Amino acid sequence: MSNRVGPRHLVVAGFLFLLPTMILVLAQGNSGYDAERGVTRFLNAFLTSYTVASAFFVVNMFQYSKSREEPTAPWVSMVYAATLGIFVTFLLTNQGGFLMEENGSQRAQILYNIVHFIVTSSAILVAAGILILLSFVNLKSKDTKQS
């Protein structure tokens, strides 16, 4: 029996990945969800994730450059990327409410985005930890003989 993953299995895995989102959309039905508000939330989450991830990669690339005898290109480019994320965040939150949700000021919106990112990231990390623990629980020895 082949252990290769076939295209059919990839399609099923992709469908299972999207299944919770599709169930939520179908369950929502015709409730009058404001699409503009959803796009604003998505853009806020994307921009915050980009900025925080860029700052994380600055530290990561700085450590990488130390292991490679101090080439500065990796961490300098990530500093530019993080600076771009911060600049775009300030620029778009100043544009008359384009990325402002229900917060009164630019600072409140940026803080809301960061806190939302931290809560979402910790939830994903807890779920990944549970999945890893469940996979270890379900490991079976290959040496056991079945009768």
Higher-pLDDT residue of 111 and 133 is: 133
Highest mean pLDDT among 50-54, 103-107, 124-128: 124-128
Q: Whole-model pTM?
A: 0.51
Q: Which of left, alpha, beta for 103 (phi over 0: left; psi -120 to 50: alpha)?
A: beta
pLDDT of residue 29 exceeding 70: no
The alpha carbon dihedral of 24, 123, 88, 81 has a sign of: negative
Residue-level length of the chain: 147
pLDDT of residue 60 exceeding 60: yes
Number of H helices, E strands in the chain: 4, 0
Domain range summary for the chain, segments of one domain joined by +: 35-137
pLDDT digits (tens, 9 = 90+) for 65-95: 777 766 776 777 777 887 887 787 777 777 7
